[in-house]
Structure 1
């Protein structure tokens, strides 16, 4: 089972979060890293899938729709993690992502839509 590799989209690309994840040995790329700024959400998801990366976003509406559309068309994606509240602190998001990564492998994330709230625990 492989560890999840992340792709953080423009909506969620807080540099402090990215740095915290990298300091925790998480393989993470951002839209600027991938030279994908201003690409459509669908293009982002396709690219992440081609690279074997799970996309992390706070754009719930568009990515829930894309997840449904991919399922209806029997298209595969590497997984989507949605932070439903942009008000989550950097620490809460960091802990939530690490909790999710401890619970699921990259293979288990294929075609899955996960909500960060289920992995953020009160400390």
Structure 2
């Protein structure tokens, strides 16, 4: 069996209702607040998530698309990036659960995923 995606929610994405919904379904979720990573740069967020082998979930599309490109150009590895627009929490939760049920941690390795693909 493939390893489930382990999620790291950055500072902007760490919504309490989302964390509760994911944990209620037994997904491994870590928030920036829990990790003591509040106030650090996006690059530091991604580095931390990669070190912890967590796929990062963020609303900060532009910066994380650039960081993904930089990582790939420099042959650096990360555990995946999921970017989303800021939508209603129910919409985000449904899409994220659909993604988590259909992708593994291995699938997400060095992958940039747009949550909008999971309607």
Query: In which range does the TM-score fall when normalised by the shorter chain?
Result: over 0.9
Q: How many Å apart are 1:24 and its aligned residue? A: 1.4
Stretches of structure 2 lacking an aligned partner (at least 5 in a row): none
Give the TM-score taking structure 1 as reference length: 0.93
Poorly superposed stretches of 4+, deviation over 3 Å: none
The corresponding residue for 1:90 is 89
Distance in 2 between residues matched to 1:31 and 1:101, nearest whole Å: 20
The yes-or-no answer on 1:111 pairing with 2:110 is yes
The alpha-carbon deviation at position 45 of structure 1 amounts to 0.6
Shift of 1:93: 0.9
What is the root-mean-square deviation in Å for CA atoms of aligned residues?
A: 0.8
Three-state SS of the structure 2 residue aligned to 1:114 is strand
Deviations 1:51-81 (A, max 9, x none): 1100000000000000000000010000000
Distance apart, 1:4 and its partner CA: 0.2
Q: Could you tell me how far apart the structure 1 residues matched to 2:17 and 2:102 are?
A: 23
Q: What 5-or-longer segments of structure 1 have no aligned partner? A: none
Q: Distance in 2 between matches of 1:25 and 1:91?
A: 18
Structure 1 residue 16: Cα displacement: 1.0
Counterpart CA distance in 2 for 1:101 and 1:36 is 24
